Chain A
């Protein structure tokens, strides 16, 4: 009985962590896009798929990284990468933290991008993920020739945390 109670709490915590990080990730991308002066259209149209996908994959631990690519994927103006880090959950204090205010302040360092450029979200996985409607296979933009900047943590929960990296044209 005690092990089933422990499992139920673990599952509940994993789901809560997934909901928490998903909200923070979408909120972060929202602030970045608004700061860059880009349209909310893509984000609004695909919000349900994005939310379901991220929650599903974070809860199952398959999401490695989600990135916002701004501009032509073959030569993007900017890429914002949010890698996930998964920790083994204990039964200790449950703390859900976001750092959106600090991330918002960090946006002041961003280079501007041409108005009206397109953008997309790309997810990478550490293992085969559960299929989610609205997501299709693609190839992530190559950031090897871009300058990278660590912008700090985005959010953390008992089972996982997310941080933000910014890639800009050199």
Chain B
């Protein structure tokens, strides 16, 4: 899995609405090369998610908790900075490479208090945008390893019906 990060400038460089548009445009352009995905469905769901993304930005919730696009083999995390950090930011907008072979996608939005219910409610009819936490990243160290010593050849033979 390829993991990428993008940071978008919010206020005072952009309004919450404009910052939401930038984020959703990044997601749309990132998913566009994936021929297995329905671009119409992607556009529809992102448009429906705009209200929730805008609320998260205005409430400064995308600074500590990024939204996560899971489109294996790509994981894209997008956060928003505000204040002086937004002015100083050298932003990378546009398509993020790595999702061309994706056959599925999910956009995970945080839903922090006190707007948890608002965000969840606004996404309830969507199939690909959710407040469910994104799967944890599996690092090389955490990945389960099965070495030769873990396999019992006698057990395999019993399963195969050999005497």
Contacts and interface: CB of A to CB of B under 8 A. Distances in A.
B40 interface: no
Contact of B54 (A16, A47, A104, A157): A47
B11 A30 contact: no
Name the prevailing secondary structure of the A interface residues: helix
B60 A100 contact: yes
A17 interface: yes
Contact of A98 (B14, B51, B55, B83): B83
B117 interface: yes
Interface in A93-131: 94-98, 100, 104, 107
Interface stretch (A3-11, A18-26, A68-76, A82-90): A18-26
A6 B14 CA distance: 22
Interface string B1-44: 00000000011111111000000000000000000000000000
Contacts of A55: 15
A40 interface: yes
Contact of A48 (B14, B17, B86, B87): B17
A96 to B, nearest CB: 4
A5 B87 CA distance: 18
B78 interface: no
A23 B11 contact: yes
A47 B58 CA distance: 11
Interface in B58-80: 58-60
B100 interface: no
Contacts of A98: 60, 82-83
B114 A47 contact: no
Contacts of B83: 20, 96-98
Given A27-B59, A30-B58, A34-B117, A96 B82 contact: yes
Interface of A: 16-17, 19-20, 22-24, 26-27, 30-31, 34-35, 40, 44, 47-48, 51, 55, 94-98, 100, 104, 107, 157
30 contacts: A16-B87, A19-B11, A19-B13, A19-B14, A20-B11, A20-B82, A20-B83, A23-B10, A23-B11, A23-B16, A23-B57, A24-B11, A26-B58, A27-B60, A30-B59, A31-B114, A34-B114, A34-B115, A34-B118, A40-B115, A55-B15, A94-B84, A95-B84, A96-B84, A96-B86, A96-B87, A98-B60, A98-B83, A104-B114, A107-B114
